[in-house]
Amino acid sequence: MIRGWLHRYALPEADGDDLVQEVMAVLIRELPHFRHDLRTGAFRRWLRTITVNRLRSFWRARAARPVATGDSAFANMLDQLEDPDSGLSRLWDEEHDRHVARRLLELLEPEFEPATWRAFQLLVLEGKSTSETAAELHISANAVRIAKSRVLRRFRQEVEGLID
């Protein structure tokens, strides 16, 4: 997720990789000191702050060299990313939540029978109707709803506090 954010702003790939490593190093070093304030998104905001600070350090270190990015537009973007009410911060939050949800679903899939997972996938992830899903899988509409309920119940158990 962090790499995706950094590449969005036209950083050279090697610099992006270095920054991801720096963010991860700070994360590993500071994680034992992180205290969740029980507000939704606390970790996400903390990670965003680390990323912004590493980007600021990166651009300050390269201020003497002319570069295609890191100009005032980029500084403005960092300011927006720091502001929790900006559109850019909301985009960060949404991408974080999608990333966490996608990864969590990957981890949960092996816990379910293939037919249960496929019913959930068709109905929830692909947006098919209950009747379409039931017809495609040759099961009852009630079985589709039960599959959806089982997967969502398990997902909610794991996701609580991780995303808004």
Q: Which pLDDT score, from 0 to 100, does residue 66 have?
A: 47
* pLDDT reported for residue 59: 74
CATH number of the domain at 112-164, please?
1.10.10
Distances from the Cα of 15 to the Cα of 56, 92, 125, 146, angstroms: 13, 20, 35, 48
Handedness of CA 4, 79, 12, 45 (dihedral sign): negative
Query: What's the pLDDT score for residue 91?
Result: 81
Specify the pTM: 0.54
Position 162 scores a pLDDT of: 65
Domain boundaries, the chain: 1-103, 112-164
pLDDT in tens, 78-119: 777 777 788 777 887 888 888 888 889 999 999 999 999 999
Q: Residue 18 and residue 125: Cα distance in Å, rounded? A: 34
3-state helix, strand, coil in the chain (%, to 5): 75, 0, 25
pLDDT at 114: 94
Stretches where the chain sits below pLDDT 70 are: 9-10, 38, 62-75, 161-164
**pLDDT at residue 153 in the model:** 94
Max CA separation in the chain (angstroms): 67
